[in-house]
Amino acid sequence: MKELVVISGKGGTGKTSITAAFASLAQNAVLADCDVDAADLHLVLSPKIKQEQDFSGGKQAFIHPEKCIGCSKCAKMCRFDAITLNGPGNSLIAKTYAVDPVSCEGCKVCVEFCPVHAISFEAAINGKWFISDTRFGPMVHAKLGIAEENSGKLVTLIRKEAKRIAQEQKKDMLIIDGSPGIGCPVIASITGADAVLVVTEPTLSGKHDLERVAQLTANFGIKTLVCINKADINSEMTDQIARDADALGLKVIGKIPYDEAFTKAQIMKATLIEYTGGSISERIRTMWQELVYQLG
Ligand code: SF4
Ligand code: SF4
C-alpha cells in the first residue's frame, strides 16, 4: 500500500480539488482529510458517516461549582489567565470560578493548589473524528472544535486509522489531503509517507512556500513532486518555480491552467473528473498516471 499526501504552502491553491480528483481516479484507495483546521474534502465527497468518535487532545482543568469556596487562589496562580469568576453560584457564594477551556493549557497547577479539591483534571473533548463511506471508497476525517490547537495529534490519529483500514481492506493506496503550511500538523501529515505532492501557484508567496515545504520534505527524505496550479496566470513565475523545483531536485508533474471548473465543480459537490471531461480533466489524469508511476 502506497501513501500519497497532497499539501500546499497555504490554503486556496486547489489542493483539495486535486485530491478529490485523484480520489475519483484511484481504483482501490482509502481517503483521509488531514487538513483538520479547514477540512473541506467532505464537501465534495459527501461521506456517509459509519462511525463517530470523540477526539481528546489532552487533559484540562475543570472546576466543580458545588465545591468551590471562591478563594480565588486558582485564578491567581493560573499563568494563562484561564480562570475567571464566571461560574454558577452555590449555597455559599453567588458566583464560583470557572475554567475557560480554550485558554487552559493543562499545566495542572490549579488542580494541585485548590484548598478544597474542587478542581479535577479531565480529558478535554476537542473534536470528533469519523470513518465514512464515499462513492470512491472509505474516508477518515474529522471536525476540530473552534480554536483547538492539538491538530497534529488528530492528524496522526486520522492517518493511523486510514492506514489500518487500507491494510484491512487490502487497498493499494492511501490518498491524504494534507495540512497546509510547515507547522506541526503538516509534519504529522507527511512523516513516513511514500510521496508528497506539493500544489503551488505562480506567485512570489507560492515560490517561497515551495522552498519552505521542499526543505521540510527533504528533512524527512520523502519523494516530493510538484503541481503548479493556475500556471497560466503568470507564465514567467511558473517557469521560475519549475527551475527552482529542478534545482531543489523536485519533479514538476503537472502545470494546470486557471479554470473556473475548480469552483464550479465544488459548487456542484463533484470532483473535477466528474464535473468535466475537458482539458483540465485530461491534465489531471496525466498527472495522476505520472504519480502512480513515481510511486512505483
Ligand atoms: S482554588 Fe478551588 S476553591 Fe479556590 S476559587 Fe479556585 S476552585 Fe474555587
Ligand atoms: S490547568 Fe493550568 S492552565 Fe489550566 S486552568 Fe489550571 S492553572 Fe490554568
Mean pLDDT throughout 42-64? 93
Mean pLDDT throughout 95-116? 94
Question: Which residues have CB under 8 Å from 40's CB, separation 6+?
Answer: 16, 33
172-214 pLDDT tens trace: 999 999 887 777 888 888 888 999 999 999 999 999 988 988 8
> For residues 271 and 222, what is the distance between their CA atoms, to the nearest angstrom?
27
- How far is the centre of ligand 2, averaged over its atoms, from the C-alpha of 190 (Å)? 32
pLDDT at 241 exceeding the cut of 70:
yes
Q: Which of 6-15, 145-154, 172-181 has the lowest mean pLDDT?
A: 145-154
Cell triple for residue 167? 491494510
pLDDT of residue 183: 77
Confidence label for 104 from pLDDT (cuts 50, 70 and 90): very high
Residue 22 Cβ inside 6 Å of ligand 1? The answer reads no
pLDDT, mean over the chain? 92
| Alpha helices (H) in 180-234, listed in sequence order | 184-190, 204-219
Confidence label for 12 from pLDDT (cuts 50, 70 and 90): confident
14-40 pLDDT tens trace: 899 999 999 999 989 999 999 887 788
- How far is the centre of ligand 2, averaged over its atoms, from the C-alpha of 263 (Å)? 44
Enter the pTM of the model: 0.85
Residue 114 Cβ inside 6 Å of ligand 1? The answer reads yes
Cell triple for residue 45? 465527497
**Range with top average pLDDT, 73-77, 263-267, 276-280:** 73-77
Question: Pocket of ligand 2, candidates 60, 64, 73, 80: which has the most ligand atoms within 8 Å of its Cβ, to mutate?
Answer: 80
Ligand 1: residue whose CA is nearest its atom 2: 114
Q: Which domains does the chain have, with CATH numbers?
A: 2-56+128-295 (3.40.50.300), 58-124 (3.30.70.20)
Confidence label for 149 from pLDDT (cuts 50, 70 and 90): low
Question: Pocket of ligand 2, candidates 104, 120, 121, 149: which has the most ligand atoms within 8 Å of its Cβ, to mutate?
Answer: 104
Mean pLDDT throughout 135-153? 83
3 state SS of 175: strand
- Percentage of the chain with pLDDT > 70? 98
Residue 106 Cβ inside 6 Å of ligand 2? The answer reads yes
Mean pLDDT throughout 271-279? 89
Mean pLDDT throughout 40-54? 94
